[in-house]
Amino acid sequence: MSSKDGAREATEGRLAEYSALRAEIRHYLDRRETITHFALLVTGAATGLAASLADVSGYLFGVAALFIAVLWYDAIRSIRAVYRVSAYIRIVVESHLPGTLWETLGRHHKVHRQHMSRLIAGLVFPLTYGVNSALMAMKVPLNLWHGQVGLGGLTFIAILLVVANIRVHWNHCDREESEWKRLLAEYLPTEKPRTRRARG
């Protein structure tokens, strides 16, 4: 096999990997969109059932809030995975594929319509969680021990999720890139990752 054929096969392999990784990013973003809609559905269902289940409506809202907390955490993990994959694409794959553009979630790029949809999607979880928690607090007497424990627990979970969300979005792409560079230097010491300035 000639060096030219070998180079072409290597490029085709990197392009296939690039396409697969971009598809993985799209999978994570689609998953986040799906669970965002599910959080809205859970809130709507709890509100609709509360009228016919007035005696236990407070606990119903509490359960809905806990369910949304699970969805919220899953959405945070999905975005973290997007940052990790996009950092790998930029550091490992695209350094060998001139002309490709990595998934940046908007970094270095002009504002486009996806930014607004991502902002709205990011607000759905804290808003629906807060609404269900507030309705639980209104329906369950806080002078009862289970009302106090329930509201305290939901508040603690909200703090943990907000902190986790901030940690993921706060320079997380830079941290992922640094981690990939460290791994490359550790396991492939002869391979020096090259970085390109993203087109903006």
Q: What is the pLDDT of residues 55-84, one digit of tens each?
A: 778 888 999 999 999 999 999 988 888 888
Average pLDDT over residues 182-189: 73
Is residue 200 pLDDT above 50, yes or no? no
Instruction: Report pLDDT for 74.
Output: 93
Instruction: Report pLDDT for 130.
Output: 93
pTM (two decimals) = 0.74
Instruction: Report pLDDT for 113.
Output: 44
Instruction: Report pLDDT for 190.
Output: 54
Instruction: Report pLDDT for 118.
Output: 60
Q: Are 65 and 47 in contact (CB under 8 A)?
A: no
Is residue 34 pLDDT above 70, yes or no? yes
Question: What token pair was written down for 133?
Answer: 């928690």
Instruction: Report pLDDT for 189.
Output: 57
Give CA–CA dist 120/134, Å, rounded.
21
Instruction: Report pLDDT for 121.
Output: 64
Question: What token pair was written down for 184?
Answer: 């490359």
Diameter of the chain measured on Cα atoms? 81
State pLDDT tens for residues 90-136: 877 777 666 565 554 444 444 344 555 566 667 889 999 999 999 88
Average pLDDT over residues 148-158: 88
Task: For residue 18, give the nearest of 104, 80, 103, 78 by alpha carbon.
Answer: 103
Question: What token pair was written down for 2?
Answer: 């000639």
Domain regions of the chain by residue span: 3-187
Q: Which residue has the higher pLDDT, 169 or 48?
A: 48
Is residue 165 pLDDT above 60, yes or no? yes
Instruction: Report pLDDT for 17.
Output: 80
Sequence-distant (≥ 6) Cβ neighbours of residue 84 within 8 angstroms: 176
Is residue 7 pLDDT above 50, yes or no? yes
Instruction: Report pLDDT for 102.
Output: 52
